Structure formats: C-alpha cells, structure tokens
Amino acid sequence: MEGNIIISVGLFGHSGDVEVWAEGTKEMLDDMHLRKIDLADEIFVINVGGYIGSSTKTEIEYAEKTGKPVRYLEERM
C-alpha cells in the first residue's frame, strides 16, 4: 500500500515445504535469493524470536557486502 514491491521466498522448508530438500533445489533457491537481493533496494529479515538461520545469515552478509540496507522484524540481540 506504500508503493513497495515485495520479493519474497518461494518455498520455506522449515514450515513444511518439503520440496525444498529435493536434490539441487536448495542450492538453486539459495542462488535465487542472492539474485533477488541484487534486484532489491533493501532486505527485510523476518527473524521471529530472534532466530536467523545459516542461509539467512549468508544472505544478510551478501546484502551488506553489496551495500543494501538490512532491516529486521525483531531487534537483534
């Protein structure tokens, strides 16, 4: 409603999208997430309960390395 375009994840293995774990799929999705960061003006991390998984940590590092602002749902500890 604010004129933003949201580029979100397509699958989320930790909440039941089992096809994420098929051979080659996770690697393809990891690369796709980096390409989405390339397209984005900023990234917004949905860190419920402060949790940030290893793939998300890699994406945050990539975003910071490429000069993209990173915002978080919950304050980082």
HSE on the CB side for 70, CA within 13 Å? Answer: 20
What one-character-per-residue DSSP string does 21-32 give?
Answer: GSTTHHHHHHHH
In this prediction, residue 43 carries a pLDDT of: 93
For the whole model, what pTM was predicted?
A: 0.78
- Dump pLDDT digits (tens) for 15-54: 666 666 677 777 888 888 899 999 999 999 989 888 898 8
